[in-house]
Amino acid sequence: MDRVALHGLKARGHHGVFPKEREEGQTFVVDLVLGLDIRPAAAHDDLTKTVHYGIVAEEVVAVVQGEPVDLIETLAERIAQVCLKHDVVQEAEVRVHKPDAPITVPFDDVTITIIRSRA
């Protein structure tokens, strides 16, 4: 399976279990690796035979900016389902970063990574 990757998609969302997270929001960063067969697109030099990563990026940002959820696990699941709505995408690896998570000790990042497929 071939891979199309998008790294560092940034959007502001209001996800989290604490009232401050819901009220003020924070930046979330999303990395995607989409599994698909790009041979038909490459053979015909045809965008309609692959995934349009610009559209996927817009859809992912819309999910992050959309309805708040408590858990980034839920956010990752929603993003994966959006990716799998594209017929050519057979698998989606989604990593959601929450660099401003409300943790009381020094840290660089919090991430959740899921892999979902049609099978």
Q: Could you list the active site residues? A: 98
Q: What share of the chain is helix, strand, coil (3-state, %, to 5)?
A: 35, 30, 35
Which of 78, 70, 87 is closest to 116 using CA atoms?
78
CA 68 – CA 24 distance, rounded (Å): 12
